[in-house]
Amino acid sequence: MHQTKKGNQWYFGMKAHIGVDAQSGLVHHVAGTAANVADIVIVDQLLHGEESDVFGDAGFTGIHKQAEPQQRSVNW
């Protein structure tokens, strides 16, 4: 666990990063990290390789520029 500051608020703990199938709603990957780990760092562990579309919040902004070449065919 680790502490991080967002705005003027301090947070201590962990984050759960979850990969979910958009059609069925079933969870296929779960990764836990310290609170200071950026969402964009863990994205490779949340994908199974057969995705055609990937959805995420603002923590994943710019991921299409940093994605591995085999994942650039995915619609981010």
> Domain segments of the chain: what residues?
2-71
pTM score of the predicted model: 0.65
Give the span between the Cα atoms of 41 and 24, in whole angstroms.
26
Q: What is the predicted pLDDT for the residue at 69?
A: 46
Q: What is the predicted pLDDT for the residue at 65?
A: 66
* Positions in the chain whose pLDDT score sits under 50: 69
| Contact between 34 and 27 (Cβ < 8 Å) | no
| Eight-state DSSP code of residue 20 | E
Q: What is the predicted pLDDT for the residue at 73?
A: 64
Q: What is the predicted pLDDT for the residue at 67?
A: 57
Strands 9-20 and 2-6: antiparallel
| Eight-state DSSP code of residue 75 | B
Residue 20, exposed/middle/buried by CB under 10 A (0-12, 13-18, 19+)?
middle
